[in-house]
Amino acid sequence: MTPPAILILCTGNSCRSHLAEAILRGALTDDFRVASAGSKPAGYVHPLAIRAMEEIGIDISMHHSKHLAEFLTDEVGTVITVCGNAEQVCPIFPGQMNRHHWGFDDPAHATGSEDEQMAVFRRVRDEIARVFRAYAAGLLDSRK
């Protein structure tokens, strides 16, 4: 039996939602299903997001930007929005039991040199990691 998905939503599905998806997937066991999508997908995963995750040993280079409509017929048990825009436009999914909103700055809007932009990607990655690893620990504890 396929478990209901934990769907992480953001507007562009190019940075924050991919960071959160990969971190949460890595913190959970294989009997959880984690995915990400966007309300207005950018069509790519930001190269600096890929690089920021490589720095902590997680490869998201094969991720791709998806529209949330791809999941409307899927069994989604939990929706987590990581930006305010996605929270406002997020539909209710059939069978959805839980909804959370944890907003994070959008590193795609970082300005300055590449080093300065990477500093923002690292900060947001680390903030997402703290929140989503704690969430994963709670999910795993609730199964004991």
Residue 106 · residue 83 · CB < 8 Å: yes
In the set 23, 24, 83, 118, the catalytic residue is: 83
Look up tokens 């309300």; give the residue. 39
CA Rg value for the chain: 14
Q: Collapse the DSSP code of 34 into the 3-class scheme (helix H, G, I; strand E, B; otherwise coil) and give the result.
A: strand
CA distance 126 to 140: 21
Of residues 76, 51, 70, 71, the one with CA closest to residue 61: 51
83 a catalytic residue:
yes
15 a catalytic residue:
no
90 a catalytic residue:
yes
In the set 76, 90, 118, 128, the catalytic residue is: 90
Name the DSSP letter for residue 96: -
In the set 6, 10, 76, 86, the catalytic residue is: 10
Residues with active-site annotation: 10, 83, 90
